[in-house]
A and B are shown apart, each in its own frame.
Chain A
Amino acid sequence: GQNIDQPTEMTATEGAIVQINCTYQTSGFNGLFWYQQHAGEAPTFLSYNVLDGLEEKGRFSSFLSRSKGYSYLLLKELQMKDSASYLCAVMDSNYQLIWGAGTKLIIKP
């Protein structure tokens, strides 16, 4: 079966750094996406990785290791507005997205 695992909830302090992990087992791999979803709102795109390595975009970075079936999203200089759920999704061999349940990130002052 296809499976995406990520922690249910994480807590971090404003100004700090947090790493959200995602492991996956899917039928085929055509890229990994990270989305941010604030409570009661729609998911919005953060990053896309298809090759191994780190992609940096401002305060957010995303890493991929295809051989390990592993990715992480790194958020630096945390702000209160970063409190949200972070969704990991893998595009499978049929070019359909398989979604993790999301990691709820709580930022404390």
Chain B
Amino acid sequence: IAGITQAPTSQILAAGRRMTLRCTQDMRHNAMYWYRQDLGLGLRLIHYSNTAGTTGKGEVPDGYSVSRANTDDFPLTLASAVPSQTSVYFCASSEAGGNNEQFFGPGTRLTVL
């Protein structure tokens, strides 16, 4: 693995189903983030983690949960998907400290019907 990976690349999901988006980085970054990107809007932070074992809520956390069991992995779970969660989801990571650039994964395109 080089950098940050996400899976799946895309997914079509029925409303009400549970879904976990996976994110793995091999840069040993302490901080990780989940964003959603919707047309006409900026990236919006869903959840973040400053270090393994800790997580925090971003701007739009409702309907999503995360865990950070180790440094490398930061999965995002939709407990019961709704159509408004149709979006492109990006995972990112950075060195600890606020002014470090974030490195983004390739994204997951999720459609909830």
Contacts and interface: CB of A to CB of B under 8 A. Distances in A.
Interface of A: 4, 30-31, 33, 41-45, 48, 50, 87, 89, 91, 95-102
B104 A91 contact: no
B101 A33 contact: yes
Contacts of B106: 41-42
Interface string B54-87: 0000110000000000000000000000000000
Interface residues of B, number: 19
Contacts, number: 46
26 contacts: A31-B98, A31-B99, A33-B101, A41-B106, A41-B107, A42-B104, A42-B105, A42-B106, A43-B43, A43-B90, A43-B104, A45-B102, A48-B99, A48-B101, A87-B43, A89-B42, A91-B99, A96-B45, A96-B48, A96-B58, A97-B43, A99-B43, A99-B44, A100-B42, A101-B40, A101-B42
B2 interface: no
A95 B42 contact: no
A87 B58 contact: no
A30 B41 contact: no
Contacts of A89: 42-43
Interface string B16-43: 0000000000000000000000001111
Given A42-B104, A42-B105, A99 B42 contact: yes
Given A97-B45, A101-B40, A91 B98 contact: yes
Top 8 nearest A-B pairs (CB, nearest first) are A99-B42, A95-B98, A42-B104, A45-B101, A99-B43, A31-B99, A101-B42, A30-B98
By secondary structure, the B interface counts as loop
A30 B40 CA distance: 25
Contacts of B102: 45, 97
Nearest to B90: A42
Interface centre among A30, A89, A97 (most CB of B within 10 A): A97
